[in-house]
Amino acid sequence: MLIDLIGVPLDLGAGRRGVDMGPSAIRYAGLRSQLEELGHTVIDRGNLTASIAETLPVGDLTLRYFEPIRDTLIQLASEVDQSCSQGHVPVVLGGDHSLGLGSVSGAAHNRDIGVLWIDAHGDFNIPSTSPSGNIHGMPLAALCGYGDERLIHLSGQRLANSMINPHRVALVAVRDLDPEERQLLTEAGVQVFATEYIDRYGMYETMVRAISVANQARDGFYVSFDLDVLDPAVAPGVGTPVPGGLTYREAHLAAELIAESGRMIGLDIVEVNPILDDRNRTATVAVEIALSTLGKRVWHKQHPRTAL
């Protein structure tokens, strides 16, 4: 497999500083060398340009730092589109989760794709429902055609309904939703597999069903993985930790089933915050999950496939 690493040192969309250092932390944890050990060919495209909060006005308080975030997302959409067009698999290293709007829309350019959004949060706010105005809480809504037109129409190009069908989006392991977010998710028809679903049916059954939702699309699906989906005991270095998250093994099982499907066309690994971390522990976990998503196994014997 040909893999493009794309760093996005962006923290303007988040409420806490520090995730701009996430790409460096993930690289330092050995992502490239370990992917190469799996037999992949890896091209590190370096980091995109992202502005620094101290040099900028906040702007509209309902869409904080919109213009510099938009500029970075347009860069990212172009990079991801180019990577997919070359038959490569883009792996985007964040950075806050606002980048998912750029990466997924780039992957969806002239392609019919589904989305697996694996996150403690819904990221389905719009400016009128967001309690903070932080854009990292809005990208999935914008991808599904909800919210401010300036997010839905980046670079004069519609990134949402014509590209991402909400019925082919699965939100996995969510456990912290704002009340109006719930209403919007229901209205849009996004399939939500919250933590209580995992408690009832287990991680295996949850992922089989979630993958079947995203896999309805002709050209595969994109995976956007926020490290705060893990329990804070496993991944302490995230900006918005929520108790009761996935265990280490549940996260790996999810990743392994994604790999088994053979349908993932791109991957985000986001919200690693080294300032809040313990000896780069969260970045190391991020690398290990990325490796499982891209084919690493404890035991390489083929397991019986399910109908994904």
Tokens of 282: 């969260």
- Cα(304)–Cα(41) distance, integer angstroms: 28
- Widest distance between CA atoms in the chain: 55
**Alpha-carbon radius of gyration of the chain:** 17
271 is known as an active-site residue: yes
Among 4, 271, 277, 288, the active-site one is: 271
11 is known as an active-site residue: no
| Residue 181 DSSP SS3 | helix
Among 81, 123, 256, 277, the active-site one is: 123
Tokens of 294: 């891209």
Tokens of 103: 């990466």
- Compute the C-alpha angle 13/14/16, nearest 5°: 145
123 is known as an active-site residue: yes
Among 4, 11, 81, 119, the active-site one is: 119
- Compute the C-alpha angle 285/12/42, nearest 5°: 45
278 is known as an active-site residue: no
- Cα(278)–Cα(114) distance, integer angstroms: 34
Residues paired with 203 in a beta bridge:
none
Among 4, 79, 96, 226, the active-site one is: 226
Among 79, 88, 136, 231, the active-site one is: 136
Distance between start and end Cα atoms, the chain:
21
Among 88, 97, 231, 268, the active-site one is: 97
Q: Which residues contact 127 (CB under 8 A, 6 or more apart)?
A: 60, 62, 63, 133, 138, 147, 148
Q: How many CA atoms lie within 13 A of 137 on its CB side?
A: 24
231 is known as an active-site residue: no
Among 11, 20, 79, 121, the active-site one is: 121
136 is known as an active-site residue: yes
Among 228, 250, 256, 268, the active-site one is: 228
Q: Are 226 and 120 in contact (CB under 8 A)?
A: yes
Active site residues: 97, 119, 121, 123, 136, 226, 228, 271
